[in-house]
Chain A
């Protein structure tokens, strides 16, 4: 697993121009997998950067217990594109196509923990787009919201705001 991920990382960091690897930062995911990234990438992640700043750059291995080795490569990929100024609509569309609803949420939490503003804004919009035009039941499932209305209350509410409940897309079942 570790081998596989680090080879993936090498291919990701080809675009880096700085060959001096002395200053690379090691990010350790919650499942103990090490990702080596350039310091410029770390700068995009405010949480990581402030950790580096606090220790005057002496510590270059940073544990990220809340982030899995599944999400971290996505975060790094996005940050790399962001630094290179290559975040386009096409890239974003391609980026989220790979992710199911559950993964988008996990990635959101990872971005939230690392405090990457651009990625947070982007993922918020992705989630908003994914729940738009969906049924109330779908949105409840998406966010794990429990329905505490009585059937009568809900029926009354749906009648009052009937105009919003028309034209709902069928729920897609890509959730696990």
Chain B
């Protein structure tokens, strides 16, 4: 072992670059202390550019593991924290600061330290400032007043998060020209303040209001805003919010008030808006669906009202671009008719516990979605009525026997309506008479009474479907073929263009099916 010691004794000191790296892992308090090591390390702490001031960084876990729960020691800690913060910023040797984050309950009594922090931070080029002053204890801290004369000069601040602060009435935001993101948490908000904000912050793209009390009706008018997030939390302000933002792409709204409404009315005028997330107990009379006209993606979370009468009817009559609708943790009390001319996905039905109560379903789908939806549709076990609108180019190899699977999975299904539309008239098909009899061995249905087949139904694949239904649906009363050239596509609209792909041949249908119609069933060919 002695020889070993000799080998190592010369090289056992760590190189400076490694020491420097190790110092970068220290908490602020320990880092600042390294300045007393030697002249070489005197300015080392100035290399820290992302400054986080919290309990751990300013004290040590061993001395102050958590905030005191009684007032005098709490105030003592606050005082110490502010004094240390002030001292840090006054003596900080670095030339550059990139971000500042304070996570500690400070208030108006510590204004000198906070002002000094922001002043120096902005001067040294910080582009991100977070002042998180929320207090988890019940102590009544007079909030810090954010009022920035220094911010009137040029600065590179792009991200600002204020928590539990007050914005001074005279705050003009004139210096926040570069601001891209503003987050206000537990900050009372008034219209005149927003007016200055949007007037001056001409690059503001993201704006969040978290648990803010609204002291007046608000008008969010911004030509630059892309994303808006309003989280009311448990706060009931009972105000109107008007959103007029021409570039706005997404809105997230949430509230913890399940039965009361936190706001009176939200009006949205943003024609670019394509995503809308909504988490709240109710939506009717709060959000005007007409403002969501171009929305393609919509998410509802925690709705407690009757979805059919209060939500779905309005939604699908106003939002004609919908492609993606999600209902999460919503309370389904009544039947749902879901239809949308361009709907591509209906997600997350699986999370709805009372899904099996769904009795009436209308869906529009393209041919490409059939393979996905045929798996989902067999989960609706209580269906009584199913309407399917299928749009897509005719392909001779495509059959419709998968509809039998859905019918099998829904033993109470009484009415089935299928509308097929050939989306591409170039691939129009002549009726072929070659018919291969294929068997769908398992199929048998005891409740199905009415079947309607509309549109481009004069093909051998539809005949095949009808044939199966006639043979194996024991109570079938009526099966109707019709070839309306334009038909209802939901949301108050009919197809305008003539879908002339199909030569509707009554004799053809009759010839193929006459032998399979039994006494109790009528075959109607319109």
CB distance from A109 to the nearest CB of B (A): 7
Closest to A146 in B: B38
Complex formed: what's the CA distance from A162 to B88 in Å?
10
CB distance from B27 to the nearest CB of A (A): 7
Name the prevailing secondary structure of the B interface residues.
helix
Chain B 39-55 per-residue mask, 1 if CB under 8 angstroms from chain A, else 0: 11110000000000000
Interface presence of B140 (CB below 8 A): no
Closest to B64 in A: A167
Whether B62 pairs with A163 at a CB distance below 8 angstroms is no
Chain B 1-36 per-residue mask, 1 if CB under 8 angstroms from chain A, else 0: 101100110011110001101110111011011111
Known: A31-B3, A66-B11. A164 touches B25 (CB 8 A): no
Whether A102 pairs with B12 at a CB distance below 8 angstroms is yes
Whether A164 pairs with B38 at a CB distance below 8 angstroms is no
Closest to A69 in B: B4
CB distance from B288 to the nearest CB of A (A): 53
Complex formed: what's the CA distance from A127 to B24 in Å?
12
CB distance from A27 to the nearest CB of B (A): 16
Whether B30 pairs with A109 at a CB distance below 8 angstroms is no
Closest to A139 in B: B37
Known: A133-B30, A144-B13, A169-B62. A161 touches B36 (CB 8 A): yes
Partner of B37, one of A30, A125, A136: A136
Whether A105 pairs with B14 at a CB distance below 8 angstroms is yes
Interface presence of A147 (CB below 8 A): yes
Complex formed: what's the CA distance from A128 to B41 in Å?
16
* Contact residues on B (Cβ < 8 Å of other chain), bracket: 35 or more
Which residues of B are found within 8 Å of A162, using beta-carbon distances?
87
Partner of B84, one of A128, A139, A146, A163: A163
Interface presence of A5 (CB below 8 A): no
Whether A165 pairs with B12 at a CB distance below 8 angstroms is no
Whether B27 pairs with A106 at a CB distance below 8 angstroms is no
Closest to A66 in B: B11
Chain A 63-97 per-residue mask, 1 if CB under 8 angstroms from chain B, else 0: 00010111000000000000000000000000000
Known: A31-B7, A109-B14. A161 touches B87 (CB 8 A): yes
CB distance from A45 to the nearest CB of B (A): 18
Whether B37 pairs with A164 at a CB distance below 8 angstroms is no
Residue of A66, A146, A158, A161 contacting most chain B CB atoms (<10 Å): A161
Chain B 113-156 per-residue mask, 1 if CB under 8 angstroms from chain A, else 0: 00000000000000000000000000000000000000000000
Which residues of B are found within 8 Å of A105, using beta-carbon distances?
12-14
Residue of B3, B25, B84 contacting most chain A CB atoms (<10 Å): B25
Whether A147 pairs with B34 at a CB distance below 8 angstroms is no
Whether A143 pairs with B60 at a CB distance below 8 angstroms is no
Known: A105-B12, A125-B25. A68 touches B33 (CB 8 A): no
Interface presence of B83 (CB below 8 A): yes
Whether A132 pairs with B26 at a CB distance below 8 angstroms is yes
Interface presence of A118 (CB below 8 A): no
Whether B83 pairs with A163 at a CB distance below 8 angstroms is yes
Interface presence of B63 (CB below 8 A): yes
Interface presence of B69 (CB below 8 A): no
Whether A124 pairs with B25 at a CB distance below 8 angstroms is yes
Whether B25 pairs with A133 at a CB distance below 8 angstroms is no
Closest to B8 in A: A106
Whether B62 pairs with A70 at a CB distance below 8 angstroms is no
Interface presence of A160 (CB below 8 A): yes
Whether B29 pairs with A145 at a CB distance below 8 angstroms is no
Interface presence of A148 (CB below 8 A): yes
Interface presence of B289 (CB below 8 A): no
Which residues of A are found within 8 Å of B29, using beta-carbon distances?
163-164
Which residues of B are found within 8 Å of A163, using beta-carbon distances?
29, 80, 83-84, 87
Interface presence of A117 (CB below 8 A): no
Complex formed: what's the CA distance from A68 to B30 in Å?
32
Which residues of A are found within 8 Å of B300, using beta-carbon distances?
none
Partner of B39, one of A102, A125, A149: A149
Closest to A154 in B: B36
Complex formed: what's the CA distance from A147 to B37 in Å?
6
Complex formed: what's the CA distance from A149 to B278 in Å?
62
Chain A 94-135 per-residue mask, 1 if CB under 8 angstroms from chain B, else 0: 000000001001101100100000000000110110011100
Interface presence of B214 (CB below 8 A): no
Closest to A71 in B: B8
Whether A164 pairs with B33 at a CB distance below 8 angstroms is yes
Which residues of A are found within 8 Å of B23, using beta-carbon distances?
128
CB distance from B84 to the nearest CB of A (A): 4
CB distance from B29 to the nearest CB of A (A): 5
Interface presence of B59 (CB below 8 A): yes
Interface presence of A12 (CB below 8 A): no
Complex formed: what's the CA distance from A139 to B7 in Å?
24
Complex formed: what's the CA distance from A162 to B29 in Å?
10
Whether B60 pairs with A132 at a CB distance below 8 angstroms is yes
Complex formed: what's the CA distance from A70 to B37 in Å?
31
Whether B3 pairs with A145 at a CB distance below 8 angstroms is no
Interface presence of B91 (CB below 8 A): yes
Whether A108 pairs with B87 at a CB distance below 8 angstroms is no
CB distance from A37 to the nearest CB of B (A): 20
Whether B35 pairs with A161 at a CB distance below 8 angstroms is yes
Partner of B26, one of A66, A112, A128, A136: A128
Complex formed: what's the CA distance from A102 to B25 in Å?
20
Complex formed: what's the CA distance from A77 to B257 in Å?
55
CB distance from B403 to the nearest CB of A (A): 49
Partner of A143, one of B19, B25, B32, B35: B19
Complex formed: what's the CA distance from A69 to B3 in Å?
11
A-facing residues in B341-399 (Cβ within 8 Å): none
Known: A70-B4, A133-B60, A145-B38. A161 touches B91 (CB 8 A): yes
Whether A148 pairs with B12 at a CB distance below 8 angstroms is no
Whether B32 pairs with A161 at a CB distance below 8 angstroms is yes
B-facing residues in A4-49 (Cβ within 8 Å): 30-31
Closest to A134 in B: B30
Which residues of A are found within 8 Å of B84, using beta-carbon distances?
163-164
Whether A167 pairs with B33 at a CB distance below 8 angstroms is no
* Pairs A–B under 8 Å by Cβ, sample size 10: A31-B4, A108-B18, A128-B26, A139-B34, A149-B39, A157-B35, A161-B32, A163-B87, A164-B32, A167-B60
Besides A109-B14, A131-B22, A143-B13, 20 other A-B contacts (C-beta < 8 A): A68-B7, A105-B12, A109-B11, A109-B12, A124-B22, A124-B25, A128-B22, A136-B33, A139-B37, A140-B38, A144-B13, A145-B38, A148-B40, A157-B35, A161-B36, A163-B29, A164-B29, A164-B32, A167-B60, A169-B62
